[in-house]
A and B are shown apart, each in its own frame.
Chain A
Amino acid sequence: DIQMTQSPSSLSASVGDRVTITCRASQNIDTYLNWYQQRPGKVPKLLIYTASSLQSGVPSRFSGGGSGTHFSLTISGLQPEDFATYYCQQSYNTPPTFGGGTKVEIK
């Protein structure tokens, strides 16, 4: 199975900050990488697919990048509704595996 490792596991930031979360795959997954946001008590929501494509309806302050084994999710100008846990997930092969999550908290 492909292991997905996210860092950091948590971070504190202020409204308006630029935040970057990284995700590393244990093997080459090309750009088969997706990002999800999960607010407390809510259902996971797809933000970014194939590493850098923005899902419909997702604000443009979210962006993704990377390929191969190293990926990133950047939030440019953190908003109050962005405080949540973010997960990366590879769709290169089965089983689809998730990273452990990065919790973005209010400083």
Chain B
Amino acid sequence: EVQLVESGGDFVQPGGSLTLSCAASGFTFLNYEMNWVRQAPGKGLEWVSYIDETGTAIAYADSVKGRFTISRDVAKKLVYLQMSDLRAEDTAIYYCARRYIRTPRNFDYWGQGTLVTVSS
């Protein structure tokens, strides 16, 4: 069974840092790029970042570029999102989602999400 389990969400003050983790199981990790997608309270879905299957290709949304860093540990089947200089607008549920490396490149499995709240 495919599973993606996020952890690390917390309440943090503006300017603070946090690292999210996503543990993957039940599928061939190297066949998928891994993504973070977030959803602010009552809002829509916003793609945040992706890392390819080897960890060599990475991309970020403009809204987080320079503040967030994605990485993956292939051996442990883990994906991380290091977040720094957090702002109120980063408050959201953060979902880990996989995407097959070839067509169709859809998000076919999502984790349950982890909540990040940025507030003073």
Chain A residues near B (Cβ < 8 Å): 32, 34, 36, 38, 43-46, 49-50, 53, 55, 87, 89, 91, 94-101
Contact = CB atoms under 8 A, between A and B. Distances in A.
B32 interface: no
A49 B111 CA distance: 19
B39 to A, nearest CB: 8
B50 A94 contact: yes
A87 B44 contact: yes
Contacts of A50: 103-104, 106
B59 A94 contact: yes
Contact of A91 (B45, B95, B104): B104
Given A43-B111, A98-B45, 8 more contacts: A43-B95, A43-B110, A44-B107, A50-B106, A89-B107, A91-B104, A95-B59, A98-B44
Interface residues of B, number: 21
B73 to A, nearest CB: 23
Interface in B1-54: 35, 37, 44-47, 50
B119 interface: no
A38 B44 CA distance: 10
B113 A100 contact: no
B44 A100 contact: yes
A34 B61 contact: no
A49 B46 CA distance: 18
A94 to B, nearest CB: 5
A53 to B, nearest CB: 7
